[in-house]
Amino acid sequence: MDLKPLFKPRTLAVIGVSLSNERHPANVIYNKNNLRQQVEVFPVNEKGGVYQGEKVYRGIAEIPKKMDLAVIATRAETVPSMMADCIRAGAGGAVVISGGFAEVGKKELQDALVSLARQAGFPFIGPNCIGIFSPPSVDTLFIPGERIVRPEPGKVALISQSGGILVDHLIRFWDEGVGLSIAVSIGNKAFIREMELLEYFAHDPETEVIAFYVEGFGQNEGRDFVLAASQCPKPVIVLKSGKTAGGSRAVSSHTASLAGDYEVFSAVLSQHGLVEARDQSEMISACEALSCYRKPIEGRMAIITGSGGHGAQAMDACVSRGLTAPPFPGTMREELARQVSEKIQAIASFGNPVDLTGSAVDDDFVQVARYLSKRGEVDCLLLLLLPYLPGVTSDLGARLSMVYRQEGKPMVAYVPHVEKYNMLIEGFQLNGLPVARSIEEAVQMAESLRRFQRW
């Protein structure tokens, strides 16, 4: 099946547009795409009429153009006939927003959709989902345009069983500066599932990292997914819910999925070199780090800081996550001391963490980073940058990024995320280097590089 019409449609039919309820999901979807996306959009309602000055078609077959994508937002019991109309009209695929299927016990209604789609080779997302966010092509999320948060374009494809979790991630992506290639909510995933999406995005030139929020799999499906993901040429990140008995029950009532044995699934992910995110914070950190670097690390860290306390916290965080930051030998400490200005040589510590103290200036950080980037004992630099140090300027992020571009040694930075420090933060982000809002998140980023073992 060709999934491209789902994600890069040129024409879109929105089925279920109301002539009396502006807040109907179909109306929200129609208005957003008509006003803000590149896709050419057509409203459909069985009663016909006029909406926003545009003709409302009684059925998809009446539209004078072939539809790449149809969004179906009608009562559950009407969806099979609507999908049959889409198939007869030659549409390329559909997003079924409507709920009221297997998640509420109406499995036979959902099976009817699958039967239609399978016989026709007709790809559809859902039901019980919010669909596809693929700007500037299409946005089927039924969230008003003024309320949606849009991440910057980037390299991460995000696939989620939960529409709410998907939107949460969009907010976090925007807040953290993580770029998005596409986001897909699959809901009950009755037909198009993780496997098909993994295959598609593995070959999508706009995607370099594939992230999944998973609630559960069908029988034996989890094993097949892990095996396929282990062969994917791109990093695959998985965040799974249903880790407890209560969570498993919630999963079943939400999208009618089988949660399975979480401990077994987690172990299998690790064995096959996939990156498991334990929570949303780890998901964001892993997406940011792996979209920046395609290079493996063993986890031998060099910590550079202007504060001894921050260095100690970073050391604890590294050890707790299986990273190492062994002390540097005496000769190496002497060489490090020669890299910095004379005024801090006597007060700085060079043992790892390298504590340059509050008297350090930009050149001290840059020279130490350059020296350590050349050392084989280190495969990742952890930079703890405190913009309130008197000798540090807003250019430091860009200057350290230049060291990475010249030397090629991965760097992960911590900078407090407040507006006052944006220029320093952007110095990293504009050069494609990951920068975290906490020490713990910075260490999470480094850990994700270590856990992705296939590179």
> In CATH, what number is assigned to the domain containing residue 338?
3.40.50.261
Q: In whole angstroms, what is the distance from residue 302 CA to residue 379 CA?
A: 8
Closest to 79 measured CA to CA, from 109, 121, 38, 56 = 109
120 and 196 fall within a common domain? no
CATH of the domain at 28: 3.40.50.720
SS3 at position 240? strand
For residue 260, the enclosing domain spans: 149-292
284 and 300 fall within a common domain? no
Q: In sequence order, what are the residues at sequence separation of 6 or more whose Cβ sits closer than 8 angstroms to the Cβ of residue 55?
A: 43, 48
Closest to 127 measured CA to CA, from 83, 67, 88 = 83
279 and 308 fall within a common domain? no
243 and 184 fall within a common domain? yes
420 and 364 fall within a common domain? yes
DSSP letter, residue 77 = G
**CA distance to 116, 146, 156, per residue, from 397 (Å):** 55, 33, 23
171 and 282 fall within a common domain? yes
Domain-located, residue 141: no
305 and 233 fall within a common domain? no
Half-sphere exposure of 397 (CA within 13 A, CB side): 25
Domain-located, residue 136: no
Which H or E run contains 370? helix 362-373
Domain-located, residue 133: no
Domain-located, residue 135: no
Q: Tokens for 106? A: 């109406």
Domain-located, residue 143: no
342 and 367 fall within a common domain? yes
320 and 421 fall within a common domain? yes
Closest to 76 measured CA to CA, from 47, 110, 48, 43 = 110
Choose one of 270, 292, 314: the last residue of a domain: 292
Domain-located, residue 130: no
- Residue located via tokens 């350059």: 370
Counting the structural domains of the chain, the total is 3
Each of the 455 residues of the chain gets a pLDDT tens digit; together they read 999 999 999 999 999 999 999 999 999 999 999 999 999 999 999 999 999 999 999 999 999 999 999 999 999 999 999 999 999 999 999 999 999 999 999 999 999 999 999 999 999 999 999 999 999 999 999 998 888 899 999 999 999 999 999 999 999 999 888 999 999 999 999 999 999 999 999 999 999 999 999 998 888 888 899 999 999 999 999 999 866 554 444 444 445 554 557 788 888 888 888 899 999 999 999 999 999 998 779 999 999 999 999 999 999 999 999 999 999 999 999 999 999 999 999 999 999 999 999 999 999 999 999 999 999 999 999 999 999 999 999 999 999 999 999 999 999 999 998 888 999 999 999 999 999 999 999 999 999 999 886 54
Q: Are 435 and 397 contacting, i.e. CB atoms less than 8 angstroms apart?
A: yes
Choose one of 249, 269, 292: the last residue of a domain: 292
Rounded to 5°, the CA angle 150-385-336 comes to: 140
84 and 194 fall within a common domain? no
Q: Which residues of 391-428 are buried (b: 16+ CB within 10 A; e: fewer)?
A: bbebebbbebbebbeeeebbbbbbbebeeebeebbebb
Q: Are 183 and 166 contacting, i.e. CB atoms less than 8 angstroms apart?
A: yes
Whether the model pTM is above 0.85: yes
250 and 199 fall within a common domain? yes
